[in-house]
Amino acid sequence: MSEQQHITLPEGSIERQTQTLNLGPTHPATHGVFQNILEIDGERIVSSESTVGYIHRAFEKIAERRPYYQITPLTDRLNYCSSPINNMGWHLTVEKLLGVKTPKRVDYMRVVIMELARITDHLICNGVVGVDTGAFTGFLYLMKHREVAYEVYEEICGSRLTTNIGRVGGFERNFTPAVFEKLEKFLKEFPVALKEFESLMTRNRIFMERTQGVGAISAERALNYGFTGPNLRAAGVDYDVRVAQPYSSYEDFEFTIPVGTTGDCYDRFLVRNAEMWESLSIIRQALDKMKTLPSDVWHADVPAYYLPEKSDVYTKMEALIYHFKIIMGESDILPGELYNPVEGANGELGYYLISDGGRSPYRLHFRRPCFIYYQAYAELVKGAMLSDAIICMSSLNLIAGELDA
């Protein structure tokens, strides 16, 4: 990009004035409800200010009055492109507080679901980067397979977008044979589509010229701005919570952390694509590992926290007691304070939980990755063209639900 050439013009003439442009809050190109007030000189951005909070729903406050198991549906609505990761993150946080140890099979089931969610999140983000650069086809190739992933969620928990999947201690029911069939279908068909997508985009001259050097950030600035996840890795820092602080038995898996060098939109795109391949490999490894374990385990043996089967509630005394205690919030929750992060699809999703021993948290704070890195947007687009600002926004993977909590 060359510097803009100014011709000397008399003061006050129209070409020397900057204009204000409202990008959002309901502009289709923002892919969510947030507003950017841009000061533009022709097509070049002089400065910008972001306004967030349009869909703030006070989850942290609501959580202070809810029993732990009713907070899971709130986490769905953070990053709604990959709700299962948020759900699992919350379960893992509560399990850490309660000291619940989950069986290996539960860990692997969770890994399968979390990596599936990571793929669905990345495919939307990368697909949308393509859409914003004018390539709609790639997006459709990938979207077709998100449907299969959503059918897997549906088979496990009954819902598709806001999943509320799993429970504290494990899953609500075992994976049915249909889950494995659908997973196999996904593992067979998705790589073909992803390969097709990559051959369409990755070395595409137009796409490369639109994304290379756009919205670049150095590793130092990215760290200072609190970047995490693929955006930080694109800048060259190999930080991944799955490796740095393994949870849910991620230490049992072989995978690499793809990193970029320049931190621009193109590198972010490449990192996400590479992560999808890694996730596919992790799902395959997890399914193989599950075959060696007894197939009738889908939750930890913690009757005080894990809801018993309904048929047992009607026929067994202990099950009825535990069911009553859990629903009425009489289970003992230990006082404690912890911060538990998981690797969300767009960065480190952290739960800062303070329990005073009551039936709901004393304080719950969500560390939402995109809220923290979105503040770098003004710096990323300064001096860029208006059309670059759009690509920069979609390649950051901003999700309005997570931004506003």
Partner 1 sequence: MSLTSDYIKQRLAEKFGESISQVEESFGTLSFAAPKDLNLKVMQFLYDDEELQFRFLTDLTAVHYPERKGEELAVVYHLYNFRERVRLRLKVYTSVEDPKVFTATKLYESANWMERETYDFFGVEFVGHPNLKRILNVDEMTYFPMRKEFPLEDQSRVDKDDEMFGRGGHIGI
Binding site for partner 1 (CB under 8 A): 52-53, 56, 58, 60-62, 64-65, 96-97, 221, 223-226, 237, 239, 244-245, 336-341, 348, 350, 352, 354, 362-363, 365, 367, 371-376, 404-405
Cα separation, 96 vs 110, whole angstroms: 15
Cα separation, 105 vs 398, whole angstroms: 33
Cα separation, 264 vs 276, whole angstroms: 19
Q: Rounded to the nearest whole angstrom, what is the least distance from the CB of residue 337 to partner 1 in the complex?
A: 6
Q: Rounded to the nearest whole angstrom, what is the least distance from the CB of residue 371 to partner 1 in the complex?
A: 7
Q: Rounded to the nearest whole angstrom, what is the least distance from the CB of residue 351 to partner 1 in the complex?
A: 10
End-to-end CA distance of the chain: 37
Residue entry with tokens 């979105």:
374
Q: Which is nearer to partner 1, 266 or 377 (CB)?
A: 377
User: Coil, helix or strand for 165?
Assistant: coil
Q: Which is nearer to partner 1, 226 or 303 (CB)?
A: 226
Q: What is the DSSP letter of 170?
A: B
Q: Is the peptide bond before 341 cis (omega within 30 degrees of 0)?
A: no
Cβ pair 78, 368 in contact under 8 A? yes
Give the closest residue to 379 by CA, choosing from 169, 240, 218.
218
Concatenated DSSP letters of 92-142: HHHHHHHTPPPPHHHHHHHHHHHHHHHHHHHHHHHHHHHHHTT-HHHHHHH
Cα separation, 219 vs 126, whole angstroms: 21
Give the closest residue to 156 by CA, choosing from 121, 120, 113, 117.
113
Q: Which is nearer to partner 1, 213 or 226 (CB)?
A: 226
Environment class of residue 49 by beta-carbon count within 10 Å: exposed (0-12), middle (13-18) or buried (19+)?
Answer: exposed
Give the other-Cβ count within 10 Å of 94's Cβ.
Answer: 25
Q: Rounded to the nearest whole angstrom, what is the least distance from the CB of residue 51 to partner 1 in the complex?
A: 9
Q: Rounded to the nearest whole angstrom, what is the least distance from the CB of residue 384 to partner 1 in the complex?
A: 19
Q: Rounded to the nearest whole angstrom, what is the least distance from the CB of residue 53 to partner 1 in the complex?
A: 4
Q: Which is nearer to partner 1, 58 or 140 (CB)?
A: 58
Q: Rounded to the nearest whole angstrom, what is the least distance from the CB of residue 295 to partner 1 in the complex?
A: 32
Q: Which is nearer to partner 1, 54 or 255 (CB)?
A: 54
Q: Rounded to the nearest whole angstrom, what is the least distance from the CB of residue 393 to partner 1 in the complex?
A: 16
Q: Kindly give the residue spans of alpha helices, DSSP state H, lying in 133-228.
A: 136-157, 177-201, 205-211, 219-224
Q: Is the peptide bond before 25 cis (omega within 30 degrees of 0)?
A: yes
Give the other-Cβ count within 10 Å of 321's Cβ.
Answer: 15
Q: Which is nearer to partner 1, 136 or 324 (CB)?
A: 324
Q: Rounded to the nearest whole angstrom, what is the least distance from the CB of residue 134 to partner 1 in the complex?
A: 32
Q: Which is nearer to partner 1, 109 or 370 (CB)?
A: 370
Q: Which is nearer to partner 1, 284 or 365 (CB)?
A: 365
Q: Which is nearer to partner 1, 60 or 196 (CB)?
A: 60
What are the φ/ψ torsions at residue 297 (nearest 5 degrees)?
-115, 120
Q: Which is nearer to partner 1, 243 or 287 (CB)?
A: 243
Q: Rounded to the nearest whole angstrom, what is the least distance from the CB of residue 369 to partner 1 in the complex?
A: 10
